[in-house]
């Protein structure tokens, strides 16, 4: 009796290809879960640290070392996990803020008038009699007028609420941020944390090489 041979093709190569495809998908899911869990964990840490720093700051505004002490509280709350972020990017700011969380800036006066400092250069404050508002000229944007609120009692300037001045201030490295200790009772003190997060395997997960994280906590000053 003649033996019938099977002509089914061998699948050694196909099995290898299929295994490789499945392993890649499995690893993407596995590392994705680990990566996002790590990211959420660290984001939660900086949120909590900012909040605890703000709690400390609002009841210690009379301290001459308020900013440095608040930074120390924030770093202690991080329990060393601040080292998990990209080296040199960990930053903690403590400042007096308006109701929208924008920085309050102090202005100065010389023989030329009132001015704020942008990158070491004096930018003089002007007054628009039609709009009945103070403004500065944005030389980077066609000399457009950037309006803000001026407090002559405390010699500070704040955003009008449109975020235009806050954006201009950030883009031009506006100096003289009003210290948190100057916040009166019921005014906001902000603790802001900025840092860069580097994913472990950004290429595999199709993520950015660096992700910027910010945590901002606003609380009313209670001590003045």
Summarize pLDDT for 114-139 with one digit per residue, the tens: 999 987 889 999 999 999 999 999 98
Q: How many domains are there within the chain?
A: 1
128 contact partners, CB below 8 Å, separation of at least 6:
134, 135, 145, 147
Predicted TM-score (pTM) of the model is: 0.79
Assigned domain for 209 exists: yes
Mean per-residue pLDDT of the chain = 88
Q: Output the pLDDT for position 5.
A: 62
Residue, of 154 and 7, whose pLDDT is higher: 154
Q: Output the pLDDT for position 208.
A: 81
Q: Output the pLDDT for position 202.
A: 75
Assigned domain for 146 exists: no
φ, ψ at 185 (rounded to 5°)? -55, 125
Buried b (16+ CB within 10 A) or exposed e, 152-169: eeebbbbbbeeebbbebb
Band of residue 17 on the pLDDT scale cut at 50, 70, 90: confident
Q: Output the pLDDT for position 92.
A: 97
% residues pLDDT > 70 (the chain):
92
Band of residue 76 on the pLDDT scale cut at 50, 70, 90: very high
Q: What angle do CA 53, 222, 59 make, to 5 degrees?
A: 40
Of 98, 100, 122, 105, which is closest to residue 156 (Cα–Cα)? 105
Q: How much is the average pLDDT of 98-107?
A: 92
Q: Output the pLDDT for position 199.
A: 87
Give dist(CA 101, CA 190) in Å, integer.
7
Q: List Cβ<8 Å contacts ≥24 apart for 131-140.
A: 133/160, 136/168, 138/168, 140/171, 140/172
Partnered with residue 28 across adjacent β-strands are none
Contact criterion met (CB below 8 Å) for 197 and 35: no
Q: What angle do CA 100, 61, 186 make, to 5 degrees?
A: 40
Q: What are the tens digits of pLDDT across the range 89-101? A: 999 999 999 988 9
Assigned domain for 199 exists: yes
Assigned domain for 133 exists: no
Q: Output the pLDDT for position 91.
A: 96
Assigned domain for 76 exists: yes
Coil, strand or helix at 175: coil
Assigned domain for 155 exists: no
Q: Output the pLDDT for position 114.
A: 95
Contact criterion met (CB below 8 Å) for 121 and 196: no
Q: How much is the average pLDDT of 13-32?
A: 76
Give dist(CA 195, CA 212) in Å, integer.
6
Q: Output the pLDDT for position 4.
A: 59
Residue 27 belongs to what domain range?
12-104+177-220
Band of residue 216 on the pLDDT scale cut at 50, 70, 90: very high
Assigned domain for 206 exists: yes
Lowest mean pLDDT among 3-17, 55-69, 72-86: 3-17
pLDDT value at 191 more than 90: yes
Q: Output the pLDDT for position 3.
A: 61
Q: What angle do CA 129, 132, 136 make, to 5 degrees?
A: 80
103 contact partners, CB below 8 Å, separation of at least 6:
95, 96, 97, 166, 169, 177, 178, 190
Residue keyed to tokens 């883009």: 171
Coil, strand or helix at 191: strand
Band of residue 201 on the pLDDT scale cut at 50, 70, 90: confident
Assigned domain for 7 exists: no
């Amino acid at each position: 009796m003649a033996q019938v041979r099977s002509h089914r093709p061998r699948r050694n190569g196909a099995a290898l290809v299929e295994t490789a495809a499945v392993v890649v998908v499995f690893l993407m899911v596995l590392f994705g879960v680990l990566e996002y869990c790590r990211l959420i964990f660290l984001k939660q840490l900086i949120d909590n640290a900012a909040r605890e720093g703000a709690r400390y700051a609002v009841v210690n505004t009379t301290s001459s070392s308020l900013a440095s002490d608040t930074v120390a509280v924030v770093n202690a709350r991080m329990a060393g996990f601040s080292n998990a972020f990209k080296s040199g990017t960990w930053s903690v700011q403590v400042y007096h803020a308006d109701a929208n969380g924008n920085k309050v800036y102090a202005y100065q006066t010389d023989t030329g008038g009132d001015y704020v400092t942008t990158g070491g250069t004096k930018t003089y404050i002007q007054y628009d009699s039609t709009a009945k508002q103070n403004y500065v000229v944005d030389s980077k944007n066609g000399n457009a007028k950037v309006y803000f609120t001026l407090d002559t009692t405390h010699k500070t300037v704040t955003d009008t609420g449109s975020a235009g001045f806050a954006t201009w201030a950030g883009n031009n490295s506006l100096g003289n941020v009003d210290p948190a200790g100057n916040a009166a009772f019921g005014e906001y003190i902000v603790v802001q944390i900025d840092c860069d997060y580097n994913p472990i395997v950004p290429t595999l997960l199709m993520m950015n090489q660096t992700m910027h994280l910010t945590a901002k906590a606003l609380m009313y000053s209670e001590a003045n």
